[in-house]
Amino acid sequence: MSEKTSKDGLLIVYTGDGKGKTTAALGMALRAAGYGWKIAIVQFIKGSWKYGELESIKRLAPEVELHVAGSGFVGIVDDKLPLEEHRKAAQAAFSLSMDIVRENSHRLLILDELNVATDLELVSVEQVMELLDAKAPEMNLVITGRNADTSLIERADLVTEMKEIKHPYQQGILAKKGIDF
Protein backbone atom coordinates (compact mmCIF):
# COMPACT_ATOMS: atom_id res chain seq x y z
CA MET A 1 0.00 0.00 0.00
CA SER A 2 1.22 3.51 -0.87
CA GLU A 3 2.19 6.13 1.67
CA LYS A 4 -0.22 8.60 0.06
CA THR A 5 -3.25 9.75 1.98
CA SER A 6 -6.65 10.89 0.75
CA LYS A 7 -5.47 14.48 1.23
CA ASP A 8 -2.56 14.05 -1.19
CA GLY A 9 -2.95 15.10 -4.79
CA LEU A 10 -2.95 12.58 -7.60
CA LEU A 11 -0.86 12.29 -10.75
CA ILE A 12 -3.27 11.39 -13.55
CA VAL A 13 -2.21 10.53 -17.11
CA TYR A 14 -4.56 10.37 -20.09
CA THR A 15 -2.76 8.84 -23.05
CA GLY A 16 -3.34 6.64 -26.11
CA ASP A 17 -4.24 7.06 -29.76
CA GLY A 18 -7.96 7.54 -29.21
CA LYS A 19 -9.83 10.82 -28.84
CA GLY A 20 -10.89 12.14 -25.48
CA LYS A 21 -7.70 12.86 -23.54
CA THR A 22 -8.08 16.63 -23.40
CA THR A 23 -11.85 16.26 -23.06
CA ALA A 24 -11.41 14.05 -19.98
CA ALA A 25 -9.00 16.56 -18.43
CA LEU A 26 -11.36 19.45 -19.14
CA GLY A 27 -14.20 17.47 -17.60
CA MET A 28 -12.13 17.13 -14.45
CA ALA A 29 -11.51 20.90 -14.49
CA LEU A 30 -15.25 21.49 -14.80
CA ARG A 31 -15.91 19.17 -11.85
CA ALA A 32 -13.20 20.77 -9.68
CA ALA A 33 -14.42 24.29 -10.53
CA GLY A 34 -17.80 23.26 -9.14
CA TYR A 35 -16.07 22.92 -5.77
CA GLY A 36 -14.35 26.28 -6.08
CA TRP A 37 -10.89 24.85 -6.74
CA LYS A 38 -8.28 27.06 -8.39
CA ILE A 39 -7.25 25.37 -11.65
CA ALA A 40 -4.58 26.12 -14.25
CA ILE A 41 -4.46 24.56 -17.70
CA VAL A 42 -1.32 24.86 -19.82
CA GLN A 43 -1.63 23.71 -23.42
CA PHE A 44 1.71 22.64 -24.88
CA ILE A 45 0.98 21.82 -28.52
CA LYS A 46 -2.31 23.45 -29.38
CA GLY A 47 -2.24 27.12 -30.16
CA SER A 48 -2.76 28.03 -33.79
CA TRP A 49 -6.43 27.03 -34.09
CA LYS A 50 -9.51 28.48 -32.40
CA TYR A 51 -11.01 25.94 -29.98
CA GLY A 52 -14.40 26.06 -28.30
CA GLU A 53 -12.81 25.52 -24.89
CA LEU A 54 -11.03 28.86 -25.22
CA GLU A 55 -14.36 30.66 -24.89
CA SER A 56 -16.08 28.30 -22.47
CA ILE A 57 -13.19 28.36 -20.00
CA LYS A 58 -13.45 32.15 -19.80
CA ARG A 59 -16.88 31.56 -18.25
CA LEU A 60 -15.26 29.54 -15.46
CA ALA A 61 -12.95 32.37 -14.41
CA PRO A 62 -11.59 33.14 -11.91
CA GLU A 63 -11.41 29.49 -10.76
CA VAL A 64 -10.05 28.23 -14.10
CA GLU A 65 -7.27 29.85 -16.08
CA LEU A 66 -6.12 28.65 -19.49
CA HIS A 67 -2.66 29.31 -20.90
CA VAL A 68 -2.39 28.51 -24.61
CA ALA A 69 1.37 28.23 -24.84
CA GLY A 70 2.00 26.08 -27.90
CA SER A 71 2.62 27.17 -31.46
CA GLY A 72 0.18 24.68 -32.98
CA PHE A 73 0.33 21.04 -33.95
CA VAL A 74 3.86 19.96 -34.86
CA GLY A 75 4.53 18.58 -38.32
CA ILE A 76 0.91 18.02 -39.31
CA VAL A 77 -1.94 19.76 -41.14
CA ASP A 78 -0.90 23.40 -41.72
CA ASP A 79 2.31 23.51 -39.64
CA LYS A 80 4.98 25.55 -41.39
CA LEU A 81 7.06 26.47 -38.34
CA PRO A 82 10.58 25.15 -37.85
CA LEU A 83 10.93 22.58 -35.06
CA GLU A 84 13.04 25.05 -33.06
CA GLU A 85 10.05 27.45 -32.84
CA HIS A 86 7.93 24.65 -31.40
CA ARG A 87 10.76 23.78 -28.98
CA LYS A 88 10.93 27.41 -27.77
CA ALA A 89 7.15 27.50 -27.24
CA ALA A 90 7.19 24.17 -25.39
CA GLN A 91 10.06 25.32 -23.17
CA ALA A 92 8.16 28.53 -22.37
CA ALA A 93 5.09 26.43 -21.52
CA PHE A 94 7.23 24.23 -19.29
CA SER A 95 8.71 27.27 -17.54
CA LEU A 96 5.19 28.60 -16.92
CA SER A 97 4.16 25.18 -15.58
CA MET A 98 7.11 25.14 -13.18
CA ASP A 99 6.16 28.64 -11.99
CA ILE A 100 2.61 27.43 -11.28
CA VAL A 101 3.95 24.39 -9.41
CA ARG A 102 6.32 26.52 -7.33
CA GLU A 103 3.61 29.11 -6.61
CA ASN A 104 1.47 26.26 -5.21
CA SER A 105 -1.78 28.21 -5.28
CA HIS A 106 -3.70 25.81 -7.59
CA ARG A 107 -5.31 22.55 -6.51
CA LEU A 108 -5.38 21.20 -10.05
CA LEU A 109 -2.85 21.69 -12.83
CA ILE A 110 -3.54 20.25 -16.28
CA LEU A 111 -0.61 19.96 -18.68
CA ASP A 112 -2.39 19.35 -21.96
CA GLU A 113 -0.37 17.55 -24.65
CA LEU A 114 2.78 17.46 -22.51
CA ASN A 115 3.19 13.80 -23.48
CA VAL A 116 3.37 14.82 -27.14
CA ALA A 117 5.91 17.52 -26.29
CA THR A 118 8.13 14.93 -24.58
CA ASP A 119 7.63 12.38 -27.35
CA LEU A 120 8.78 15.00 -29.90
CA GLU A 121 11.68 15.92 -27.58
CA LEU A 122 10.50 19.52 -27.22
CA VAL A 123 10.58 18.97 -23.46
CA SER A 124 12.73 16.28 -21.86
CA VAL A 125 11.39 13.49 -19.67
CA GLU A 126 13.96 14.61 -17.10
CA GLN A 127 12.30 18.04 -17.00
CA VAL A 128 8.92 16.41 -16.39
CA MET A 129 10.38 14.35 -13.53
CA GLU A 130 11.84 17.56 -12.07
CA LEU A 131 8.37 19.14 -12.20
CA LEU A 132 6.86 16.11 -10.46
CA ASP A 133 9.51 16.33 -7.75
CA ALA A 134 8.77 20.04 -7.24
CA LYS A 135 5.00 19.57 -6.99
CA ALA A 136 3.46 20.05 -3.56
CA PRO A 137 1.96 16.79 -2.25
CA GLU A 138 -1.58 18.22 -2.20
CA MET A 139 -1.57 19.44 -5.82
CA ASN A 140 -3.40 17.27 -8.36
CA LEU A 141 -1.67 17.03 -11.73
CA VAL A 142 -3.15 15.81 -15.01
CA ILE A 143 -0.92 15.17 -18.02
CA THR A 144 -2.46 14.43 -21.41
CA GLY A 145 -1.28 13.36 -24.85
CA ARG A 146 -0.41 10.22 -26.73
CA ASN A 147 2.82 8.30 -26.19
CA ALA A 148 3.23 8.86 -22.46
CA ASP A 149 6.73 7.93 -21.35
CA THR A 150 6.99 4.70 -19.34
CA SER A 151 8.66 6.52 -16.42
CA LEU A 152 5.64 8.84 -16.19
CA ILE A 153 3.24 5.90 -16.34
CA GLU A 154 5.14 4.18 -13.54
CA ARG A 155 4.92 7.28 -11.33
CA ALA A 156 1.26 8.01 -12.01
CA ASP A 157 -1.56 7.16 -9.63
CA LEU A 158 -4.07 6.81 -12.46
CA VAL A 159 -3.40 6.09 -16.13
CA THR A 160 -6.14 5.84 -18.71
CA GLU A 161 -5.32 4.86 -22.27
CA MET A 162 -7.80 6.05 -24.88
CA LYS A 163 -7.96 3.41 -27.62
CA GLU A 164 -9.22 4.32 -31.06
CA ILE A 165 -11.71 1.78 -32.37
CA LYS A 166 -13.27 3.89 -35.10
CA HIS A 167 -12.81 7.51 -36.16
CA PRO A 168 -14.85 9.73 -38.54
CA TYR A 169 -11.63 10.82 -40.28
CA GLN A 170 -11.27 7.25 -41.58
CA GLN A 171 -14.50 7.91 -43.51
CA GLY A 172 -13.27 11.25 -44.85
CA ILE A 173 -15.12 13.32 -42.23
CA LEU A 174 -13.01 16.27 -41.09
CA ALA A 175 -12.89 17.68 -37.56
CA LYS A 176 -16.18 19.25 -36.47
CA LYS A 177 -16.65 22.53 -34.62
CA GLY A 178 -18.06 21.90 -31.16
CA ILE A 179 -17.07 18.23 -31.24
CA ASP A 180 -13.36 18.18 -32.12
CA PHE A 181 -12.36 21.80 -31.54
Please report, for residues 40, 79, 145, 180, the alpha-carbon distance to residue 169 in angstroms, rounded to integers and kept in the order given.
31, 19, 19, 11
115 three-class SS: helix
Whether residue 118 is contained in a domain is answered as: yes
Q: How far apart are CA 75 and CA 79, in angstroms?
A: 6
pLDDT at position 1, please?
A: 46
pLDDT at position 46, please?
A: 72
| Domain of 127, in residue numbers | 11-163
pLDDT at position 86, please?
A: 80
Q: pLDDT digits over 67-124, tens only?
A: 988 766 665 666 577 778 889 999 999 999 999 999 999 999 999 999 999 999 999 9
Whether residue 170 is contained in a domain is answered as: no
Whether residue 43 is contained in a domain is answered as: yes
Whether residue 168 is contained in a domain is answered as: no
pLDDT at position 77, please?
A: 61
DSSP state of 1: -
pLDDT of residue 20 exceeding 60:
yes
39 three-class SS: strand
pTM above 0.75, yes or no: yes
Q: Which of 4-13, 73-82, 132-141, 161-170 has the highest mean pLDDT?
A: 132-141
The total domain count for the chain is 1
pLDDT of residue 48 exceeding 70:
no
Whether residue 2 is contained in a domain is answered as: no
Whether residue 58 is contained in a domain is answered as: yes
Whether residue 141 is contained in a domain is answered as: yes
Q: Identify which has the larger pLDDT, 49 or 152.
A: 152
- 174 band by pLDDT with thresholds 50, 70 and 90: confident
Q: How far apart are CA 1 and CA 153, in angstroms?
A: 18
Whether residue 92 is contained in a domain is answered as: yes
Check which CATH number belongs to the domain holding 24 and give it.
3.40.50.300
Residue 30, burial from CB neighbour count under 10 angstroms (0-12, 13-18, 19+): middle
